[in-house]
Structure 1
Amino acid sequence: MPLNQQDQFSLLKDILSNHQNDCCGSVAECEQLERLVKSLMVQTNSDRHIQPVLEEIYRYSQNGIAAPELDQHIESNQQELSQWVTEINQYS
């Protein structure tokens, strides 16, 4: 069963919040972020507010997948993670 847009935003916030709170994560979570963001970018193509945030999260997920030390990558993006969660909360 496919997730609707609201469910996708909720899952996106959950993963980002977990990364922020736990300062760790998995490559599978980064891959999930990448898939969610791709889907949301297509669905929210006309919304100028959320598109830049989604693009930043997409880059974060790609860099996380390629990072030799994923936990360090997550720790170095703590401020961005907090900002993204706040912006997604305002949008969704």
Structure 2
Amino acid sequence: MPLSYQNQMDMLKDILSNHQSDCCGTVAECEQVERLIKSMLATGFQSEQMTSTLQHVYEYTQAAKNCQHLDQHIQTNQQNLSQWVSELTTLS
């Protein structure tokens, strides 16, 4: 059974919030975020601003899963993570 758009948004915000609060994460989480974003963008339900935020998060996960020090990458992006979670909450 596929996840609804709102379920996907909630899962995305949960993962990003965990990265932000825990200052750590896994490659599997980054890959999950990528799958969520691809699915969400495919629906076309989001505004231009939401699309922009989703694309920034996607770029973050691309860099994260390809870097040697994932936790350091997450720590470096603390401000971005906080901003993205806030934007996703406001825009959804």
Q: Would the TM-score normalized by the shorter structure come out above 0.5?
A: yes
Q: Structure 1: which 5+ residue stretches go unaligned?
A: none
Q: Where does residue 64 of structure 1 map in the other structure? A: 64
Deviation at 1:43, TM superposition (A): 1.5
State how far apart, in whole Å, the 1-side matches of 2:80 and 2:41 are.
Answer: 19
Q: Output the TM-score relative to the length of structure 1.
A: 0.96
In the alignment of these two chains, the number of paired residues is 92
Deviations 1:28-76 (A, max 9, x none): 0000000001111112366211011000000011111101000000000
Aligned-residue CA RMSD in angstroms? 1.0
Deviations 1:2-24 (A, max 9, x none): 10000000000000000000000
Q: Percent identity?
A: 52
Q: Which aligned runs of 4 or more in structure 1 are off by greater than 2 angstroms?
A: none
Q: Where does residue 24 of structure 2 map in the other structure? A: 24
Is the contact between residue 64 and residue 74 of structure 1 (CA under 8 Å) also seen in structure 2?
yes
Q: Output the TM-score relative to the length of structure 2.
A: 0.96
Q: Are 2:10 and 1:10 aligned?
A: yes
